[in-house]
Amino acid sequence: MPTFDYAPAPESRSVVTIAPTYGFFIDGAFTRPKATFATLNPADESVLAEVSQAGPKDVDKAVAAARRAFEGEWGRLSGAERGKYLFRIARILQERAREFAVLETLDNGKPIKETRDFDVPTAAAHFFYHAGWADKLEYAGLSAPGATARPHGVVAQVIPWNFPLLMLAWKIAPALATGNTVVLKPAESTPLSALLFAEVCQQADLPAGVVNIVTGDGRTGQALVEHPDVDKIAFTGSTEVGKIIARSIAGTAKKATLELGGKAANVVFDDAPIDQAVEGIVGGIFFNQGQVCCAGSRLLVQENVHDEVVAKLKRRLQTLRVGDPMDKNTDLGAINSREQLDRITTLVDAGVAEGAERWSPACTLPTKGFWYPPTLLTGVAQTHRVATEEIFGPVLSVLTFRTPQEAVAKANNTAYGLSAGVWTEKGSRILWMADQLRAGVVWANTFNRFDPTSPFGGYKESGYGREGGRHGLEAYVTTTPATPTGATR
Ligand code: NAD
């Protein structure tokens, strides 16, 4: 195996200014910091900033601001006018792309090449896409015959730490396009890009109260989703918390979409172009250190090509560069938090105790920060915890199958149903597999492709509702008649 030395190519962190402390963004302005807690750079455990913990009273203020905006200027705007704001936000995101990429990498730990080439451009693309819908909702098939689609009102949005800016865009863009107002809570370990986005809202002259950002941990999220003046909830996060939210709103008039966990099967048939599949498998599980809801974390490989695929995977993993997320050469950055690192370690150890064989390439991990090497687990059985539970880390569990029927049975043998991959030369088999797999997204001969035009969402314990595309808009409107104060399109 030839080895290569790369000269370091660090991105400059001077393009972004991080304040020492942050308050909330409510009614178009930043509040004074209070009850602060630290947000860390997971690559070296340094404190990036102190952010505020919102209590019920702060959440109340944010929801009240969103309600006023909904019943005020924003609610009276035409779709075309709303669209202008979305276009403006999209353009500002593009103009400030480097700033966002650096900030996201510092706060999350993911490689700069991912924030620069994926997170930030895809977030901007979501605003551009939804800007186009704002004045065309009647063509989106949103209206039932004779009825007019209307916004719900105030939307509570709670998001996780794995794609902080992108999840914000997935949430805020469709909500604004359809005329709702928003209170968003970012994850406690990655609040900074949402707070920078608040500046973008100011820069775009978005009317006060249309977007409000409150920071804090699960208690803040709970206060937000349980607030009586919230009309709709959009949550992305763990299945465990999704269930708590579903229980807490049962019996209320609140609408909800829940985008939860996953345990995707990436199915490789013996007729697949193996080298191409190996690239797809690597991208499928090691993108964002595997901290991806739709990560291809269960490799199902046809028995007769198992040894070849595993040998090629091992060879490829030896070329992955793990280290400083700000270095443009880096393929794998840091794990987002100590808690997440502990979860990964515990689960992998359990897999080994249950009989899986563990392999990682030789790599030197930094001594500070939260790190886990790219890892293969072979000899995994369907009953092993590493085959059933979401690891959410750079760990691939390898299982085998003999027939397409067995592949489908094993792929569907999960509580989740978010995504799946199929690698084969045969188009007819792709269509058959896509029909059989109980997953919201099925990729064929590729993996982890995202586009704002394409709906994304799960079956079973991966949640309900779709985000993106025309289907994603539907979650943000109702066809019931408007109240006298309700907004119109
Ligand atoms: P998490 O559920 O712990 O937290 C998600 C968010 O919910 C955070 O902002 C958190 O503060 C908040 N929260 C915690 N308890 C709450 C409560 N009781 N009420 C309201 N809000 C509460 O998830 P996480 O660890 O941040 O994220 C990882 C999870 O997210 C994984 O399971 C992953 O699969 C999932 N995810 C799913 C998608 C998808 O589109 N399906 C996308 C990304 C991540």
Q: How many CB atoms lie within 10 A of CB 242?
A: 22
% of the chain at pLDDT higher than 70: 96
Burial of 359: CB neighbours in 10 Å, binned 0-12, 13-18, 19+: middle
C-alpha dihedral, 391 to 395 to 401 to 405, nearest 10°: 40
Q: Is residue 486 part of a domain?
A: no
Distance CA 272, CA 410 (A): 19
CATH of the domain at 288: 3.40.309.10
CA dist 457 and 175 (Å) reads 17
Nearest CA, atom 18, ligand 1? 222
CB of residue 245 inside a 6 A radius of ligand 1: yes
| pLDDT confidence of residue 100 | 98
452 found inside a domain: no
Is 58 domain-assigned? Answer: yes
Instruction: Output the CA 400–ligand 1 centroid distance in Å.
Output: 31
pLDDT of residue 486: 43
Please check the confidence at residue 487 and state whether its pLDDT lies above 70.
Answer: no
Same domain, 159 and 36: yes
Q: Whose CA is nearest to atom 32 of ligand 1?
A: 238
**Domain co-membership, 64 together with 100:** yes
The answer on 116 and 65 residing in a single domain is yes
d(CA 401, CA 267): 9
For residue 489, is pLDDT > 50?
Answer: no
Residues 100 and 124 in one domain: yes
Q: Which pair of structure tokens corresponds to residue 260?
A: 């939860």
Q: Give residue-wise pLDDT tens across range 193-211.
A: 999 999 999 999 999 999 9
Residues 271 and 254 both lie in one domain: no
pLDDT in tens, 342-372: 999 999 999 999 999 999 999 999 999 999 9
- State yes or no: is 259 an active-site residue: yes
402-407-409 Cα angle (round to 5): 120
State which H helix or E strand residue 302 sits in. Answer: strand 298-302
For residue 70, the domain's CATH number is 3.40.605.10
For residues 363 and 333, what is the distance between their CA atoms, to the nearest angstrom? 13
Task: Judge if 327 and 418 occupy the same domain.
Answer: yes
Q: Which tens digits make up the pLDDT trace of 376-386? A: 999 999 999 99
Average pLDDT value for residue range 298-304 = 98
177 within ligand 1 shell (Cβ under 6 A):
no
Give the nearest ligand 1 atom to 463 CA.
Answer: 41
Q: Is the domain of 291 the same as that of 209?
A: no
Answer yes or no: is 8 within a domain. Answer: no
389 within some domain: yes
Domains held by the chain: number: 2
Annotated catalytic residue, options 259, 390, 467, 474? 259
Shared-domain flag, residues 213 and 108: yes
Q: Is 244 in the pocket of ligand 1 (CB under 6 A)?
A: yes
Q: In degrees rounded to 5, what are phi and psi of residue 10?
A: -75, 135
The verdict on 293 and 255 lying in the same domain is no
Q: Could you tell me if residue 198 is inside a domain? A: yes
pLDDT digits (tens, 9 = 90+) for 213-243: 999 999 999 999 999 999 999 999 999 999 9
Asked whether residue 234 falls in the same domain as residue 280, the answer is no
State the average pLDDT for the chain.
95
**Is 4 inside a domain boundary?**
no
Asked if residue 185 is part of any domain, the answer here is yes
Q: Is the pLDDT of residue 49 over 70?
A: yes
Q: Are 301 and 400 in contact (CB under 8 A)?
A: yes
**Closest ligand 1 atom number to CA of residue 259:** 41
Are residues 73 and 211 both part of a single domain? yes
Range(s) of the domain holding residue 19: 13-259+462-478
- Assess whether the C-beta atom of 259 lies below 6 angstroms from ligand 1: yes
Q: Are 220 and 101 part of one and the same domain?
A: yes
Q: What percent of the chain stands above pLDDT 90?
A: 93
* Index of the ligand 1 atom closest to the CA of residue 418: 41
pLDDT in tens, 80-136: 999 999 999 999 999 999 999 999 999 999 999 999 999 999 999 999 999 999 999
Q: What average pLDDT does the segment 331-337 reach?
A: 98
User: What is the reported pLDDT for 142?
Assistant: 73
